[in-house]
Amino acid sequence: MRADIRLWLPALIAAALFALPGCAEVGGEPVAPGGVGELSPTRVQLERLLASVRVVAARGHPGGYERGCKEGQRCVFGPLWSDNYDGPGGHDGCDTRNNVLSAQLTEVSFRPGTHNCVVTAGTLDDPYTGGRITFSKADAGDIQIDHVYPLAAAWDMGAASWPAERRVRFANDIDVNLLATETSANQAKGDSTPSEWLPPARTNHCSYAGKYLTVAVRYDLPVTAADNAVLNDIARSCP
């Protein structure tokens, strides 16, 4: 199965189940189907998501964000790539990073004896750069896992008041909020939101906007007025 299809497979299944023209709903929330290339969400689908998302004037700065989990650190989104959470992929014996790699890479190979948990090789059609990357466990640092809606931004925009369990699930949500990508792209993005960073591959902007908005709507996280303007501009360019 192509990696771009896998990225949006849950939304595509939802669309079939609900049979709504142009947009599906999961738990009453609009979800845009699409992905890289031909499966990108349409203008109508993005406009429906834009109509559902909350918009705030600017990103707040409540303070207290600390991702690290070493002794004395706050570990506000839980241990990195934890398997200990309730949600897709949780409590399955595999860590979240390997779950993402196995779902989004093609031609995947696993380390023997790990019950298909540890990915050792595969190919990634990068959703941000548009390039094709050959993954090897020996060079695992070439591919990182990005939070589409960044953790620091989520903290600033409302997650600071969430229960710890909800933050851990958000940080490990393999269905909508995690994408494997080239390390340099992930590092360039950092904790930026759409008004500050967009994928280098312009042809992938529609799918990125759809992913970002889907996460925001599902978790009731807002977008800033600046982000909203950029996402509306992207929507107008989508087919």
Mean pLDDT, 10 residues at a time, over the chain (239 residues)?
Answer: 45 34 42 48 97 98 96 97 94 97 97 97 97 96 98 98 97 97 98 98 97 98 98 97
How many CB atoms are closer than 10 A to CB 6?
17
User: What does the pLDDT read at residue 34?
Assistant: 38
Structure tokens belonging to residue 31: 């979800």
pTM for this prediction: 0.86
User: What does the pLDDT read at residue 20?
Assistant: 33
Rounded-to-integer distance, Cα 141 and Cα 127, Å: 17
User: What does the pLDDT read at residue 40?
Assistant: 87
User: What does the pLDDT read at residue 162?
Assistant: 98
For 96, residues 6+ apart whose C-beta sits below 8 A from its C-beta are: 81, 82, 83, 89, 145, 172, 174, 178
Question: b/e string for 194-232 if b means 16 or more Cβ within 10 A?
Answer: bbebbbbbeebbbbbbbbbbbbbbbbebbbbebbbebbe
User: What does the pLDDT read at residue 39?
Assistant: 66
Q: What 8-state DSSP symbol labels residue 133? A: E
Rounded-to-integer distance, Cα 208 and Cα 238, Å: 12
User: What does the pLDDT read at residue 111?
Assistant: 97
CB of 56 closer than 8 Å to CB of 227: no
